[in-house]
Amino acid sequence: DAMVIQNPRYQVTQFGKPVTLSCSQTLNHNVMYWYQQKSSQAPKLLFHYYDKDFNNEADTPDNFQSRRPNTSFCFLDIRSPGLGDAAMYLCATSILDRTYEQYFGPGTRLTVT
């Protein structure tokens, strides 16, 4: 089945130790999103790609970076995780059409010790 895959599902990192979360998709969608979700709150958009065109949200901390080497893969890099970065990170995809829904991966739960 076509899907959005996130690895790992659970990630533990130390305060200040860089960490990378990965997302892959078999849907061939040209838009990919990264969201941060804390404690069953609304997902907060960090950034998104239209193909390779990167769009950063104004309030996304510089500590968060992203890479999209090809259509299928997208990475979230947290350069120096703080305790406040502990959250669920959700990857989603969509086609480039405002009427189209998003397909979400299962998420990666990040713990910072």
- The residues of the shown chain that bind another protein, judged by CB under 8 A, are 4, 6, 40-43, 45, 48, 55, 88, 90-92, 98-99, 101-107, 109
Tell the smallest beta-carbon distance from residue 43 to another protein (Å): 6
Tell the smallest beta-carbon distance from residue 80 to another protein (Å): 26
- By C-beta, is 45 or 79 nearer to another protein? 45
Integer angstrom CA distances of residue 80 from 25, 29, 61, 69 = 27, 30, 11, 22
- By C-beta, is 46 or 112 nearer to another protein? 46
- By C-beta, is 79 or 109 nearer to another protein? 109
- By C-beta, is 79 or 106 nearer to another protein? 106
Q: Are the CB atoms for 7 and 22 separated by under 8 Å?
A: yes
Tell the smallest beta-carbon distance from residue 42 to another protein (Å): 4
**Which two tokens mark 106?**
């299962």
